[in-house]
């Protein structure tokens, strides 16, 4: 299905207005939390929460692509998640495999570039193969970059970067004096993508959970009480709208960061979003 055609009038209006403002977050990162609680509250097993979570992934990837987000990073499985019961880990791995097999053609047809970050060597071999093939197949696409964080943790990535940097110093390809923030970033697994502008976390928890620790130094944080399985594209629009109201100062004063770009008509956008909710 061509996602450009499959847009409702209200979505088009939002997309056009977001585009005209020119301040859309380039990169959105999401901590998809609350699958288990969503299921438990419905007397279902945790697996059904994860299955429903995949449905949300499908919708949010599509909506992000449709409104022109350039990078979407989803925290799908942390290194700490390996400590969950083996049965739950197996279910998550098979859902991931199923998702990729089922969605890859549609992602590719819609110009999505797929990539992953994380300790992929810990993943089952069949999944490693699938990730390599999916990345390879979509590597020249120019639309949304969908980045799955799999067997990932921020501290793991930082330590790995330090090890590789230390090796380069030992080899003599760089010296300790060369090391600055830009050079260090080049050693992280996120080197090819910009830092997230906006972090969304579902289910009301207020922590980073070892996600993109270096990269989120200046990300705006948006937390919603909704569980991931019930998060919708309208919730995504609300998060972006909220982001548009933030003043990003990066350590400067408010007066220093005043710009002349078009003012965001928040109340108009809120009306359009409310109309979709009805
Ligand atoms: C958090 O809910 C969610 C996860 C640990 C995994 C997220 C995975 C998916 C949505 C499915 C796989 C994803 C992709 C991209 C194929 P939780 O289990 O911690 O919920 P709880 O805190 O309510 O127990």
Task: Say if 187 falls within a structural domain.
Answer: no
Task: Say if 165 falls within a structural domain.
Answer: no
pLDDT digits (tens, 9 = 90+) for 35-84: 999 999 999 999 999 999 999 999 999 999 999 999 999 999 999 999 99
Task: Say if 99 falls within a structural domain.
Answer: yes
Rounded to the nearest angstrom, the distance between the alpha carbon of 113 and the centre of ligand 1 is 22
* pLDDT value of position 114: 98
**Annotated catalytic residue, options 45, 81, 242, 265:** 81
Task: Say if 60 falls within a structural domain.
Answer: yes
pLDDT digits (tens, 9 = 90+) for 210-260: 999 999 999 999 999 999 999 999 999 999 999 998 988 898 888 888 876
Closest approach atom of ligand 1 to CA 40: 23
CATH number of 53's domain = 3.40.1180.10
Angle between helix 266-277 and 233-244 (nearest 10): 170
Task: Say if 181 falls within a structural domain.
Answer: no
Task: Say if 228 falls within a structural domain.
Answer: yes
Overall number of domains in the chain: 1
* pLDDT value of position 17: 85
- Could you tell me the pTM of the whole model? 0.96
Q: Which of 82, 91, 17 is nearest to 244 (CA)?
A: 17
Task: Say if 189 falls within a structural domain.
Answer: no
How many other CB atoms are there within 10 angstroms of residue 75's CB atom?
Answer: 25
Cα separations (Å) of 63 from 18, 75, 113, 146? 13, 18, 15, 12
* pLDDT value of position 110: 98
pLDDT digits (tens, 9 = 90+) for 136-163: 999 999 999 999 999 999 999 999 999 9
Range of the domain at 33: 9-153+195-277
């Amino acid at each position: 299905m061509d996602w450009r055609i499959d847009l409702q009038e209200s979505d088009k209006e939002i997309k056009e207005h977001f585009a005209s403002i020119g301040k859309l977050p380039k990169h959105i990162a999401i901590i998809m939390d609350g699958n288990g609680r969503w299921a438990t509250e419905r007397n279902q097993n945790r697996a059904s929460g994860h299955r429903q979570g995949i449905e949300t992934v499908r919708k949010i990837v599509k909506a992000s692509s449709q409104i022109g987000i350039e990078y979407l990073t989803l925290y799908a499985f942390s290194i700490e998640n390996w400590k969950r019961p083996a049965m739950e880990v197996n279910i998550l791995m098979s859902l991931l495999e199923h998702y990729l097999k089922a969605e890859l053609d549609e992602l590719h047809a819609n110009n999505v570039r797929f990539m992953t970050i994380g300790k992929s060597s810990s993943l089952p071999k069949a999944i490693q193969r699938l990730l390599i093939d999916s990345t390879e197949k979509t590597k020249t696409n120019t639309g949304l970059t969908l980045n799955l964080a799999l067997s990932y943790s921020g501290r793991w990535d930082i330590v790995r970067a330090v090890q590789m940097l230390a090796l380069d110093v030992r080899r003599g390809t760089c010296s300790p004096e060369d090391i600055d923030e830009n050079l260090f970033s080049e050693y992280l697994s996120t080197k090819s993508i910009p830092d997230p502008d906006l972090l969304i976390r579902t289910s009301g928890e207020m922590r980073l959970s070892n996600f993109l620790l270096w990269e989120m130094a200046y990300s705006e944080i948006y937390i919603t009480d909704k569980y991931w399985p019930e998060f919708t594209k309208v919730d995504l629009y609300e998060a972006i709208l909220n982001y548009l109201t933030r003043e990003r100062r990066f350590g400067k004063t408010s007066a220093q960061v005043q710009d002349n770009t078009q003012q965001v008509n928040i109340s108009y956008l809120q009306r359009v979003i409310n109309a979709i909710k009805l």
